[in-house]
Structure 1
């Protein structure tokens, strides 16, 4: 398997190649095939979010301080750097996504969305190169794309209800906004802090159009919305009192996977909210959660380990120490056969190098003994 991992301390991206069963915490276990560092800067400008473009040509990174940098995927040479993409340096990027075309959307906490068209990278016209900027209702903690419908997005944040919007030709239109749940037992409003959103497959009925949303909050809630039915959630659970920070789901939409600030990475049933599986091992806040083709997930956070799990069984498949706190992860491939072939080639190259060194040493010893005989 091959992963790209963004590191906080060095401001770099590490490219990790390893086999299933790799565990750097055990000396006798399999070790990574290779770990290569790319695009290093500093902790002050470390990468908050990054992605690999759909054509695998570029890596786009949103850095602390407001810069968006585009690198060649193969060489990690810098192609383009956009600066001052946030209204101020204290406003961090919360999302970086690509739609089904060549458009990249970078969203900040203050609600500023920068839209970059990759087709304009090589053009000399400054007007076409300059990103389009849109403004959302702030503050924003998450901003996501609907993978099932072009130009549809959702976002939310602290005291900022979930909103579904459309972005077409640089124009933004709000389509729907959620409504908070009823008052609690003390007749107090339930606090709102949306921290993650997923679009599920739409299952609206009787020809009604709408969106099926899976939402987590920093107050430990998991909520489901069907926008064609009502503004309030159709289901709401609170499996933990810790802040939930990440969210993904299984291919059948029957379970959600989320992580909290205390190291829990759990699989929760969307029928009753109960935990049906736990991905063991993480210590501390898990910042990054990547779902690779609904088959495996990769996680990383404060404990400096990248972990890869089987999504169905929750079994750990690989564990690699990367020396720094992790801010984001992208998994590129899970080709076990390709990795094994590469490992075999690497072992053969090592064996060949050892044989050549031994042959050279024997030749030197032979020449040395011949010289001694001549002197005698």
Structure 2
């Protein structure tokens, strides 16, 4: 499919999916590409009136295996827990001691949050508001926290510089550190290779992990073998700065700040095996559905997209009006009446937006044209214009008479002198 900025849905895209999107402005949007009437309709699940300065969504994750609970973190010290059960939507807010939140997880009744200052905070959800969370210090800076979906007690963290590199913790053993990565050997100048683990992903289990970096590398670790990566890809291209990563099976999907989405095969990491097109801005987040075939992405060009991970075809694209920072995709539960309610809400929102746009445009055009026409003089219909034109004619005639009189006087003087 050719590159386009329009909202599109491929004719062969028949999978039933719904998207949850977090934006830079703090809005939390729900989209249903499975809808036939309003595949681009957007329902905002957050209260826009309460959003403040630090409301940018920095983390989005499912809180359970059924994907009926979503954990939402912002640049401020608050976590929102959204539950979608029996056609309803409930929200609960939990306050922490630090910000920004760069990763969220849930293990049993404990909320796990990764903070940008390098802390992992654990808080019992049933505890009182005055209870203090348990804190694990991983370093002085953290870029991301990921939870292993197969073993939910395992989390991994990563950040910038060597002291904040990849680390793995077991929450069932009071947050015991079970693995820490080791950097590659020094280069030919005996200088340390720069480390910046911008994102982490578990490759179908707690033992194999993949990391990507802003410095242009993708590394694969096996915690059962060694601390150093077992295989890696290092790019020397300018601008190959990886921001986000997701892994499934033998493939690792990475996005860059320059709008490039590439897939790597973990069995041969010399170069990428797929490239996905259609982006005009940096890719901020990636997420795969449970089957691993549909790859959803959030981009800073204000679009969310779904690609076929195998054929690289762009299946869905929608403009969300704000810079998309996080995205989740899940199977749409087509319960009786649910899709109709979503479509009706989306249609009402679209009608409201169209009416607002029309009213704004109408007011602007009318005022402009009224002012312009008020300032314009009326031509040819009033007596004043006739009087004005006659005055101009008389003034021209007087000028002609004066010029003729002066010329006659000059001639008389010449004759007298001669």
Indicate whether the TM-score tops 0.5: yes
CA contact (8 A) 1:70 1:78 kept: yes
User: Following the alignment from structure 1 to structure 2, what is the Cα–Cα distance between the partners of residues 337 and 311?
Assistant: 28
Q: What is the deviation of 1:77?
A: 5.0
2:167 matches 1:163: yes
Quote how far apart the aligned CAs of 1:193 are: 0.6
SS in 1 for 2:171: strand
TM-score, length basis structure 2:
0.68
Higher helix share: 2
**How big is each residue's C-alpha offset from its partner over 1:87-131, in whole Å with a ceiling of 9 and x where there is no partner?**
xxxx522111233x233211011112222334x1xx7x556x654
Q: Distance in 1 between matches of 2:295 and 2:334?
A: 15
> Map of 1:78-97 to 2, 5 A cutoff?
78-82=91-95, 84-86=96-98, 91-97=99-105
Equivalences for residues 42-191 of structure 1 within 5 A: 42-54=52-64, 58-73=69-84, 77-82=90-95, 84-86=96-98, 91-99=99-107, 101-118=108-125, 120=126, 125-126=128-129, 131-159=133-161, 160-168=164-172, 171-191=174-194
2:316 is aligned to 318
Indicate conservation of the 8 Å contact 2:19/2:32, yes or no. yes
Report matched runs for 1:191-210 at 5 Å.
191-201=194-204
CA deviation profile, 1:234-254 (whole Å, cap 9, x unmatched): 11211455221111123x32x
Please report how far the alpha carbon of residue 265 of structure 1 lies from its aligned counterpart in structure 2 after TM superposition: 0.6
Q: Describe the shift of the 1:341–1:200 C-alpha distance in structure 2 as closer, same or farther (beyond 3 A).
A: closer
- Looking at CA atoms only, which structure, 1 or 2, has the larger radius of gyration? 2
Structure 1 residue 281 corresponds to structure 2 residue 278: yes
Q: Report what 2:374 is aligned to.
A: none
Q: State the 1:179 CA deviation.
A: 1.3
Contact 2:259 2:282 in 1 (8 A): yes
The SS at the match of 1:85 is coil
Count of aligned pairs: 318
1:367 counterpart residue number = none
Q: CA deviation at 1:5?
A: 0.8
Q: How big is the shift at 1:337? A: 11
Query: Which position in structure 1 is the counterpart of 2:228?
Result: 232
CA distance, structure 2, for counterparts of residue 341 and residue 71 of structure 1: 19
| Shift in alpha-carbon separation, 1:56–1:217, aligned structure 2, 3 A | closer
Q: Secondary structure of the equivalent of 2:273?
A: strand
1:174 CA drift (Å): 1.8
After superposition, the Cα gap between the structure-2 partners of 1:72 and 1:177, relative to the gap in structure 1 and judged at 3 Å, is closer
TM-score norm. by structure 1 comes to: 0.75
Deviation at 1:33, TM superposition (A): 5.5
Q: How much has 1:323 moved relative to structure 2?
A: 0.2
Task: Specify the SS of the correspondent of 1:168.
Answer: helix
Give unpaired runs (5+ residues) of structure 1: 23-29, 203-209, 351-376
Question: Hey, what's the Cα distance between the residues in 2 that align with 1:339 and 1:311?
Answer: 31
Distance in 1 separating the partners of 2:335 and 2:69: 25
Structure 2: tracts of 5 or more residues without a match: 1-16, 349-418
